[in-house]
Amino acid sequence: MSAIRPEEVTALLKKQIESYEGRLELEDQGTVIQVGDGIARVFGLSNCLASEMLEFPGGVMGMALNLEEESVGVVLLGSDWGVKEGDPVKRTGKVLQVPVGKAMLGRVVNPLGQPIDGKGPIVTDTYRPLERKADGVVYRQPVHEPLQTGLKAIDSMIPVGRGQRELIIGDRSTGKSAIILDAIINQKYTHQTDTPVFCIYVMIGQKESNVARTVAKLEETGAMAYSIVVSASASDPAPLQYIAPYAGVAMAEEFMYASQDVLIAYDDLTKQAAAYRTLSLLLRRPPGREAYPGDVFFLHSRLLERAVKLADHKVCPNCKNTNPLNKLHAYEEQAIFNKCASCGTDIKAVAVRRGGSITALPVIETQAGDVSAYIPTNVISITDGQIFLEGDLFYQGIRPAVNVGISVSRVGGNAQTKATKKVAGSLKLDLAQYREMAAFAQFGSDLDAGTLRLLTRGERMVELLKQGQYVPLPMEEQVAQIWAGGKGYYDKLPASHVQVSSAGFVEYLKSNYGQVLETIRKTSNHAEVEDAMKTAADAYFADYAAKFG
């Protein structure tokens, strides 16, 4: 055994002491002073951040909402069963965030991003905060690309563009969710193009059986592959229902900032507002109109402002600053676009990146068609238009039950394809005239030929716009069907034959005039093939009338 040499030991000790760092960790910890109804009051967290995640014993998470002088009001994002007075509460130092990214696709998660579909853990290490300020106007561009829902009544008359916010509003059980489902299913075709649309369906306060049914339908149609379902069901605590839409839009932003397009539906915001009212009252925030807290408008405006069409941009390789490009000018001519606005680096050679988009379809439920209630008016004023669904129409069998008279799309027209725009022009006119005449015609018996013609046409167009669930139609087929209506081909048939003959016409085109639909799809225009369509329609409808007429 060798002897211990003191100089070696001292040297070692000295080295150890030199590299010693004070590893003192300061942990902020508070104490629960009151708990109940999913709300906890915590004492001693004087440095707590607004909407910071707090950890309770047993792994229950909470979110700090009320920062008061003596205590912090926390909503519990889970059951309050295990939490009791005197329990310690730990700060995490992080504001509420959710996992995001491609790994979430095909999954059903709760608003904390935890899987609830029993398909195992989600592997992703990218997170995004729930709350974020929306991009300013400089970083945006006008809506100009179509988002096809596959529903004739919507794509032709209330078109939605990528980056638009279009409200779906109507009474209970009028087919609001059905529109969303069809729109999501219809995005399948985009995944064969360069600009796929990913879908996020946020389900708030719905029955779990309903969530299960929806997910099963999405799986069955293959739509789940490019979708995420975020669910806070009716049995979940109010705080989870309140944060669900923000969790959804945080996941959407991950795609948008990767230059991709997202369709997000919030079904529905009425229930989210009610959940927010519940927790605000429990937090003793002062109630205002209809007992909602004063900031209930902000609840929805800050959410819907995050749906945008981003401008094309160059990212500075040096400082990572985003330099948006102005579409109105030729980029090359503008020296300003060749320099990073933040650090001045030459970015002439940097490739232009396409701006992604988030299209939002919020849903609001009305009571007896009352669109002037508090929450409906708020959301109507924030969105770029609304699809109004009416119970009366629904029960008459006009489904989707869209009231085209008071439904609008304020920006989507710019995004419509040329072909749709052209054929929809006469459709709108036909329907408007029909609505005007139909009311009078109920009383009169002697109608002149002109009025009769309008009524015949209108009746057939209403019939044509009826569409079943889960059968979204591609743009070119919609164009062909509506075009035939505008040219009066259905007028000679009984109204009950419109659905069958219009579907048959598309089939006929497919098998005998293959290039017609192909050309409309590729060029988004039908001027080139209108003659061929006419020849086809003459032959098909003559044949049809002979068989059934």
* DSSP-derived pairing of the beta strands 167-170 and 385-389: parallel
Part of the chain binding Mg ion (CB under 5 A), chosen from 8-16, 170-178, 274-282, 288-296: 170-178
Distances in Å between the alpha carbon of 514 and those of 11, 199, 396, 477, 510?
A: 88, 31, 36, 12, 5
In degrees to the nearest 10, what's the CA dihedral of 367, 373, 379, 384?
A: 90
Q: Is 456 in the site for ligand ATP (CB under 6 A)?
A: no
Pick one of Mg ion, ligand ATP, none as the site partner of residue 469 (Cβ within 5 to 8 A by kind). ligand ATP
Identified binder of ligand ATP from the candidate list 41, 152, 165, 176, rule CB under 6 A? 176
174 binds Mg ion (CB under 5 A): no
What is the closest distance, in whole angstroms, from the C-beta atom of residue 401 to Mg ion in the complex?
A: 13
On whether the CB atoms of residues 231 and 211 are closer than 8 A, the answer is yes
- Please tell me the distance from the alpha carbon of residue 181 to that of residue 530, in angstroms, as a whole number: 33
What is the smallest separation between the CB atom of 149 and ligand ATP, expressed in angstroms? 12
DSSP for 294-315, please give it. Answer: TTHHHHHHHHHTT--BBPPEEE
What is the nearest approach in angstroms of ligand ATP to the Cβ of residue 389? 7
- Residue 178 in the binding site for ligand ATP (CB under 6 A): yes
Q: Which does 365 bind (CB under 5 to 8 A by kind): ligand ATP, Mg ion, none?
A: ligand ATP
DSSP string, 243-303: HHHHHHHHHHHHHHTTT-EEEEEEETHHHHHHHHHHHHHHTTPPB-GGG-BTTHHHHHHHH
Q: Which span sits near ligand ATP by CB under 6 A: 70-78, 273-281, 283-291, 467-475?
A: 467-475
User: Binder to ligand ATP among 468, 494, 514, 549 (CB under 6 A)?
Assistant: 468
Of 149, 272, 467, 501, the residue at the interface with ligand ATP (CB under 6 A) is 467
Between 31 and 210, whose beta carbon lies closer to ligand ATP? 210
Q: State the angle between helix axes of 269-282 and 374-382 in degrees (0 to 180), rounded to the nearest 10.
A: 120
Q: Is 357 an interacting residue with respect to ligand ATP (CB under 6 A)? A: no
Of 368, 364, 389, 361, which Cα lies nearest the Cα of 376? 364
Among 469, 499, 523, 524, binds ligand ATP (CB under 6 A): 469
106: left (phi over 0), alpha (psi -120 to 50) or beta: left
Q: What residue type is assigned to position 233 of the chain?
A: S
Distances (CA, A) of 286 to 239, 270, 281, 292: 18, 20, 7, 9
| 366 part of the interface to ligand ATP, by CB under 6 A | no
Of residues 150 and 175, the one with the C-beta less far from ligand ATP: 175
Nearest approach in angstroms of CB 510 to ligand ATP is: 23
Indicate the residue among 62 and 170 with the shorter CB distance to ligand ATP: 170
Count of residues interacting with ligand ATP (CB under 6 A): 14
Nearer to Mg ion, 178 or 250 (CB): 178
Whole-angstrom distance, CA of residue 503 vs CA of residue 139: 43
| 365 near ligand ATP (CB under 6 A) | yes
**What sign has the CA pseudo-torsion 256, 260, 261, 264?**
negative
Q: 39 or 178: whose CB is closer to Mg ion? A: 178
Quick note: the x/- pattern for ligand ATP over 193-232, rule CB under 6 A, is ----------------------------------------
- Which of ligand ATP, Mg ion, none is residue 144 near (CB under 5 to 8 Å by kind)? none
Q: Which of residues 248-267 bind ligand ATP (CB under 6 A)?
A: none
CA distance 407 to 402: 7
Catalytic residues: 410
In Å, how far are 38, 136, 251 from 46, measured between CA atoms?
21, 33, 31
Residue of 149, 177, 214, 481 interacting with Mg ion (CB under 5 A): 177
CB–CB of 274/373 below 8 Å? no
CA pseudo-torsion sign 60, 61, 67, 73: negative
175 binds ligand ATP (CB under 6 A): yes
Q: How far apart are alpha carbons 34 and 94 in whole angstroms?
A: 23
State the minimum distance, in angstroms, from the CB of residue 199 to Mg ion. 16
Tell the burial category of 377 from Cβ atoms under 10 Å away from its Cβ (0-12, 13-18, 19+): middle
Q: Which range, of 29-37, 168-176, 270-278, 424-432, touches ligand ATP by CB under 6 A?
A: 168-176
Residues of the shown chain interacting with Mg ion in the complex, contacts defined by CB under 5 A: 176-177
Q: Which residues bind ligand ATP (CB under 6 A)?
A: 170, 172-178, 365, 399-400, 467-469
